[in-house]
Amino acid sequence: MTTLNKEQLKDLVDEFVSFQINEMTQEDMYQYLRDIMRQEIICQRNHLTLQESLKEQIDEYDEHLYGLLIPYVQDREGAYEELQEFIHDRHANDWIDN
């Protein structure tokens, strides 16, 4: 086995990661990112409970989203429609930036 210096080892890691990413399907990438993001949320809770930590993180992302997601995950009547309207409104002007 060839011994690599630090730079070569870093390059090997980068190339291997690039190779793996190029071989992934869009579904594979989605699942991988979803798993990583879930793990980051769970690990960042520090002294707070998971729900408190998650609320803080969601509020930082969008101050209205937590209030929409709670009824949705509790399967309250009309919650799906409210969440879809919120998503639609968030992306209503996306075409302007493109």
User: Quick one: average pLDDT of 20-39?
Assistant: 93
**CA distance linking residue 74 with residue 2, whole number of Å:** 56
Q: Is residue 67 part of a domain?
A: yes
**Does 97 have pLDDT greater than 90?**
no
Q: Is residue 18 part of a domain?
A: no
More confident residue, 51 or 94: 51
Total domains, the chain = 1
How distant is the alpha carbon of residue 27 from its chain centre?
14
Query: What pLDDT shows up at residue 57?
Result: 84
Residue 68's contacts (CB-CB under 8 Å, 6 or more residues apart) are 79, 82, 83, 86
DSSP state letter for 17: H
User: Quick one: average pLDDT of 17-35?
Assistant: 92
More confident residue, 70 or 1: 70
Query: What pLDDT shows up at residue 48?
Result: 65
Do 56 and 49 contact (CB within 8 A), yes or no?
no
User: What is the domain range of residue 33?
Assistant: 26-91
Region of residue 46 (left: phi > 0; alpha: psi -120 to 50; beta: else): left
Strands (E), the chain: none
**pTM recorded for the entire structure:** 0.61
Query: What pLDDT shows up at residue 98?
Result: 57
Label residue 42 by pLDDT band (50, 70, 90): confident
